[in-house]
Amino acid sequence: MIPDIGKPLDRVDGRRKTSGGARYAAEHNLPNISYGALVMSAIPAGTIKSIDAGAALKSPGVIAVISHLNAPKLNAPQTPSQGQQQAAGMSGNLAEPRNIPFQSNAIHYTGQRIAIVVADTLEHAIHGAELVKVSYNPANARTDMQKFRGEAFDRAKSAFSKGDADAAFASAPVKVDQTYRTPHEHHNPMEAHSLVAAWNGDHLTIYDSSQNIFAVQRTFAQLFGIPKENVHVMSPFVGGAFGSKGSTWPHVVAGVIASRVVGRPVKVVVTRRELFFANGHRPETEQRVALGANSDGKLVALIHEGASQSNDVCDYAERFVRPTRAIYAAANIRGINPVVSLNLPSPTYMRAPGENPGMFAIESAMDELAVALNMDPVQLRLVNHADVDPVEGKPWSSKSLKQCYQQAADRFGWSKRNPEPKSMRNGRNLIGWGMASATYPAHRSPASARATMKSDGTVVVASGTHEMGMGTATVMRQLAAETLGIPAERVTFEYGDTTLPQAPISAGSMTAASVGSAVFGAATELRKKIAALDGVDPSTLTADSYHAILARHYLDHVDTQFDAKPPEEEPYTTQAFGAHFVEVSVDEEIPVVKVQRIVSAFAGGRILNEKTARSQYLGGITQGIGMALLEQTHLDKRYGTYTNVNFAEYLVPVNPDIRSIDVILVPEEDQHVNPIGAKGIGEIGIVGVAPAIANAVYHATGKRIRDLPITIEKLM
Ligand code: MOS
């Protein structure tokens, strides 16, 4: 049987993951391996005065204590411009290009990796790290975004405008002008960051839990001044990432330095607590959204500005005005997302960076506008539907947002909603219904794939991409099988290794589109190449033709490599859309919010596997419920430190928090977005969940919560 693309094939890696057969980075035990434990800065700003490693070095099993006092000097990192990065598929590199471990005594934030202790066992390394005595020259630390808000600057060059939004807002008959806040949040993948590094002369091998192995390869070639071919990076199974493993973080550099110094393989496993300090987070944002509308609901002005936390050592800016460009057809639009540089850990991409916090603000404000206009929130969105890209004016490659509203609203029963707040209840619980739109761009980067047909008719497809739970390995197998017209069981997909053809960072929801286009191209070429051997039309080949042709020509195998690239000029704006409808219940006495049900519809182009796609959406929505109600990393501004750095106090949704989630896959054909017609679905699921819940909470209680998460005390 030939599986069609889209069929809900089981995950090819599912059995190994659930039976313990999957080996993650830190499970690679090389001969003579040693263990590294990190020492973190206890202060947020200043310099290291001294490091006393005496006791640590005398402690059992300790091999070395490495810090800026004795570490090898590395080459300064190259920092390619954003344009160069994109052209080379080079997004995501050193997370902190201005803080290479052990190169200086400067302290930029609490938790900075300042030394690594290497020992013969993990326990000896941890014990040794506890014995390292560090003294500091502290400096005044900037830890409070509010206090330094006036110093915000537009690091990402995010400012854009269409028309005169401020003038239009001033004269608009109906206005909403509010400030929304989102807190620090941490990705917390189940598998914390980890690596095994081993040197052999000037050859480096790394097993890294990474979303971006080719960038890791380039980074170490550059830092150590060795050819890129000398650096072999593998990212086998990855136990979740969500953006936190898209960059080379200091612990990776520390582990590689340590292995170089001790001349043995070194394993570094970041602890849950350590993960909170130097592996990235979604930074705090403060966002003003000002909406001006006519009395019919048509937006005349959309202003979106504010700030997010960043620091001096990273280049990250939370681009919360990205969705502002795309979501509504306002006549006048202005957006900017500056950063405030503080002595706090480096922020980074976290599932739907930009879009997710940005849409919390926009979609909350749209709900407030619907209330001000006494208009149905769906109707308000339809009135402002963007038929073309609102800022660029380009046509969409495809767009099915209206179908998303319609289908999700119908299944939810939205037409029965009484718009009056506090009008619906179930016993002592207030019931609220809210909705919000979702959107995320359909990106694509250059990617290559190789396809090899063996004489037995089996096929190996290879591309150095990553599988961190999205279903990549499964859908690539399906794509190749369908393109060749053979059963999926005959196809193996190899990934996670820099000796394979190049693939981009697995982020920005672009793996299916980028790597999928390469796999599709390679399989198409392979089919042609084999058909040409017999001089037949490729379309005439069947599942049984292949090995017969190879046998006739005495061939052990036939292979092709295909380099897929997005077009230089893009006449269309490519974007996925969706909509969430949420029912919450709120206990009237102790205002605990429960999300009773969510109906969400998404149009993400062609769906490659219904099962893994649904799973991506479910994961995004679940993470969105966490963002709305639970997730927040608490910052003690006195010390610039996070305080709830464990799973007991950093709350994420668990089974009782998740009730009914109903996902509708709206069929959508897109002839333009890329050769396979898939837009990418990894991130859009989370976008819009938090505002849909906040809007439902308003409908239930009459209380508008503009700062996440929506906790009991904010509703008291
Ligand atoms: Mo994602 S935050 O682009 O891994």
Distance (Å, rounded) from C-alpha 269 to C-alpha 275? 10
Which residues are bridge partners to 160 per DSSP? 335
The DSSP element (H or E) to which 523 belongs, if any, is helix 511-534
**Helix, strand or coil for residue 411?**
helix
Could you identify the atom of ligand 1 that is nearest to the CA of residue 349?
2
DSSP output for 130-182: HH-EEEEEE------TTTTGGG-B-TT---EEES-HHHHHHT-SEEEEEEEEE
pLDDT of residue 79: 62
Among 187, 249, 351, 356, the mutation site with the greatest number of ligand 1 atoms within 8 A of its Cβ is 351
Q: Which residues contact 642 (CB under 8 A, 6 or more apart)?
A: 111, 184, 276, 277, 345, 633, 634, 635, 636
Please give the pLDDT value at position 87: 43
Residue 111 Cβ contacting ligand 1 at under 6 Å: no
- Residues 58-94: tens digit of each pLDDT: 999 999 999 999 999 999 887 655 444 544 444 448 9
Please state whether beta strands 106-107 and 339-341 pair in parallel, antiparallel, or not at all (unpaired): unpaired
Ligand 1 close to Cβ of residue 28 (< 6 A):
no
pLDDT at residue number 78: 75
CA of 318 to the centre of ligand 1 (A): 12
pLDDT score at 80: 57
Question: And the tokens for 94?
Answer: 């050193």
Nearest atom within ligand 1 for CA of residue 244: 4
186 contacts: CB under 8 Å, gap ≥ 6: 244, 275, 276, 281, 282, 350, 631, 633, 650
Instruction: Using the mean position of ligand 1's atoms as its centre, give its distance from the Cα of residue 510 in Å.
Output: 9
pLDDT in tens, 522-545: 999 999 999 999 999 999 999 999
Best CA proximity match to 233, nearest among 192, 210, 272, 205:
205
CA of 509 to the centre of ligand 1 (A): 7
pLDDT digits (tens, 9 = 90+) for 437-487: 999 999 999 999 999 999 999 999 999 999 999 999 999 999 999 999 999
Ligand 1 center–CA 308 separation, angstroms: 18
Ligand 1 center–CA 353 separation, angstroms:
7
**Atom from ligand 1 closest to the CA of residue 348:** 2
* 106 CB neighbour count, 10 Å cutoff: 18
d(CA 254, CA 102): 8
- What's the pLDDT score for residue 440? 98
- Ligand 1 within 6 A of CB of 349: yes
**How many A from CA of 126 to the centre of ligand 1?**
31
Instruction: Name residues of the chain where pLDDT drops below 50.
Output: 1-2, 82-84, 86-92
Residue 243, ligand 1, Cβ within 6 A: yes
Tell me the pairing of strands 575-587 and 593-603: antiparallel
Read off the pLDDT of residues 328-364 as tens digits, 9 standing for 90 and up: 999 999 999 999 999 999 999 999 999 999 999 999 9
CA distance 66 to 508: 36
- Lateral strand order in the sheet of 447-454: 491-494, 459-462, 447-454, 557-564
The span from the CA of 584 to the CA of 153, in Å, is 38
Ligand 1: which atom is nearest the Cα of residue 506? 4
Tokens describing residue 446: 């250059």
Q: Which atom of ligand 1 is nearest to the CA of 507?
A: 3
Distances (CA, A) of 266 to 55, 203, 218, 258, 586: 21, 15, 20, 7, 51
Quick check: CB of 507 below 6 Å from ligand 1? yes
Ligand 1 atom with minimal separation from the 241 CA: 4
Taking the centre of ligand 1 as the mean of its atom positions, its distance from the CA of residue 518, in whole angstroms, is 21
Bridge partners (DSSP) of residue 492 are 460
Dihedral of the alpha carbons of 686, 689, 691, 694, in degrees to the nearest 10:
-140
Q: How far apart are CA 401 and CA 404, in angstroms?
A: 5
Burial class (CB in 10 A: 0-12, 13-18, 19+), 181: middle
Instruction: Give the C-alpha separation, 477 to 480, whole Å.
Output: 5
Q: What confidence tens digit (pLDDT) does each residue in 99-112 have? A: 999 999 999 999 99
- Give me ligand 1 centre to Cα 25, in Å: 20
CB 597, CB 660: distance < 8 Å: yes
Report helix angle 689-701 to 610-629, nearest 10. 50
Report the separation in Å between the CA atom of 403 and the middle of ligand 1, taken as the mean of its atom positions.
27
Q: Is the CB of 350 under 6 A from ligand 1?
A: yes
> Helix, strand, coil shares of the chain as percentages rounded to 5?
30, 25, 45
Q: pLDDT tens, 600-625?
A: 999 999 999 999 999 999 999 999 99
The first and second tokens of residue 640, run together, are: 């610039």
CB of 508 closer than 6 A to ligand 1? yes
Ligand 1 pocket check for 620: Cβ under 6 Å? no
> Best of 186, 188, 238, 242 to mutate for ligand 1, by most ligand atoms within 8 A of CB?
242
| Residues catalogued as catalytic | 683
677 lines ligand 1 (CB under 6 A): no
Select from 212, 349, 444 the residue to mutate for testing ligand 1; criterion: most ligand atoms less than 8 Å from CB: 349
